[in-house]
């Protein structure tokens, strides 16, 4: 397995603490003080006075760009092929990229994902102004439905916390829901607790390809989930501690819901899973067969990846519903390392052969789309 750097020196909780210490809480509308003091807030990507091209828009929380919010910049980027260069700051808002805004690129101008944070705090059980609640999809801080979307050096976060809402039962709180085909995320962070990263598609019969490279995702319950064909390459997944539970399991890293007709689901390769929870308190995955698609056959392959001691090595998989046991789904591993990868019960750790593993590569999953080239 290739060694890899930690792309996230500050976890979600560390980010909150650091922001508070600096006097810049996530609840404030303005970004960190350093955003307005940098002489070149857009780094090497130009500025409104030296625009790279007419379809490049600049976002700055204190007014040095074309827009002060990401949401307004997206609204102005009508059609295809726009680039948003986003200056350092904390952008507290929800953002949606609809299907018509194709081939859009977001760039964190400092090239450090800790500097550009898009965050909000809706949960599935949060009441909506017009009545009802948001539901899981509606809880997303950022929703991307357009094909050809690319993000670099951005943090997508949902800072809704169970402890602050003890009476809420809908505790899913999505940081990013991405549904478009050819969606790529490089050096990004996804911070939340339950249902952090929703890697999905626009419709049951649509097989959306997504690529996550050198990214960091953290959470506790099913925090990477959905039905996309998604490749996680050299990523870091971190499971969080919980004070609301007395014992294991605390949660599950992956919960794929791959359509039965889709031959390819989630592929995790050359990555690692770490934990701040006690050893063995997390399952690697459980299958999600939603009520809207009872023919789903979730698929997850984890290969060439280090599984830390937080993963229950004896029984790394569990059922979400006894009607759909994980053994009937498409779960497999290949050449993993670490204490969480030790095979104690062979029947609980389905392994690919070398020949089978050749069909589980990023090229096989993504086809003629090469976001890694």
168 burial via Cβ count (<10 Å: 0-12, 13-18, 19+): middle
Q: Is the dihedral of CA 199, 202, 205, 208 positive or negative?
A: negative
Task: Tell me if residue 222 is catalytic.
Answer: yes
Query: What is the longest distance spanned by two Cα atoms in the chain?
Result: 63
Contact 319, 326 (CB under 8 A): yes
Give the separation between CA 210 and CA 224, rounded to whole angstroms: 13
For 348, phi then psi, to 5°, come to: -95, 0
- Among 317, 325, 321, 323, which residue's Cα sits nearest to residue 351? 317
Point out the catalytic residue in the list 66, 121, 181, 195: 195
Give the separation between CA 79 and CA 73, rounded to whole angstroms: 13
For 355, phi then psi, to 5°, come to: -65, -40
What ranges in 5-146 are assigned the alpha helix state H? 12-21, 34-37, 70-76, 135-138
Q: Is the dihedral of CA 349, 353, 354, 356 positive or negative?
A: negative
Give the separation between CA 319 and CA 123, rounded to whole angstroms: 24
What ranges in 146-277 are assigned the alpha helix state H? none
Point out the catalytic residue in the list 66, 181, 220, 222: 222
Contact 53, 74 (CB under 8 A): no
Task: Tell me if residue 195 is catalytic.
Answer: yes
Ramachandran class of 111: left when φ > 0, alpha when ψ lies in -120 to 50, beta otherwise:
left
Q: Within 13 Å, how many C-alpha atoms sit on residue 60's CB side?
A: 21
Give the separation between CA 4 and CA 290, rounded to whole angstroms: 35
Residues serving a catalytic function are 195, 222
């Amino acid at each position: 397995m290739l060694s890899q750097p930690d792309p996230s020196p500050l976890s979600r909780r560390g980010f909150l603490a650091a922001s508070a210490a600096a006097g810049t809480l996530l609840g404030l509308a303005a970004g960190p003080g350093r955003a307005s003091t940098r002489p070149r807030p857009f780094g090497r990507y130009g500025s409104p006075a030296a625009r790279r091209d007419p379809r490049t828009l600049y976002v700055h929380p204190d007014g040095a760009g074309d827009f002060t919010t990401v949401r307004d910049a997206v609204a102005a980027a009508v059609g295809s092929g726009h680039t948003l260069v986003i200056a350092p700051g904390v952008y507290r808002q929800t953002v949606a990229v609809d299907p018509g805004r194709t081939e859009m690129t977001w760039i964190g101008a400092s090239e450090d994902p800790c500097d550009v944070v898009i965050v909000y705090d809706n949960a599935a059980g949060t009441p909506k102004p017009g009545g009802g609640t948001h539901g899981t999809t509606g809880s997303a801080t950022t929703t991307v439905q357009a094909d050809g979307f690319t993000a670099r050096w951005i943090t997508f976060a949902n800072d809704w916390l169970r402890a602050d809402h003890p009476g809420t039962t809908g505790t899913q709180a999505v940081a990013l829901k991405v549904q478009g085909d050819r969606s790529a995320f490089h050096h990004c962070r996804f911070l939340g607790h339950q249902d952090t990263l929703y890697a999905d598609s626009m419709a049951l019969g649509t097989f959306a390809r997504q690529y996550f490279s050198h990214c960091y995702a953290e959470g506790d319950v099913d925090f990477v989930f959905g039905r996309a064909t998604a490749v996680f390459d050299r990523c870091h997944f971190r499971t969080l501690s919980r004070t609301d539970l007395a014992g294991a399991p605390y949660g599950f890293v992956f919960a794929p819901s791959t359509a039965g007709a889709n031959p390819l689901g989630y592929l995790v390769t050359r990555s690692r899973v770490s934990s701040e929870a006690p050893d063995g308190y997390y399952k690697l995955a459980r299958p999600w067969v939603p009520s809207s698609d009872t023919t789903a056959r979730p698929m997850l392959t984890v290969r060439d990846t280090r599984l830390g001691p937080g993963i229950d090595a004896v029984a790394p998989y569990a059922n979400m519903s006894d009607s759909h046991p994980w053994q009937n789904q498409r779960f497999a591993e290949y050449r993993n390392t670490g204490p969480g990868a030790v095979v104690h019960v062979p029947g609980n750790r389905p392994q690919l052969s070398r020949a089978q593993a050749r069909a589980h590569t990023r090229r096989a999953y993504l086809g003629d789309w090469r976001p890694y080239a």
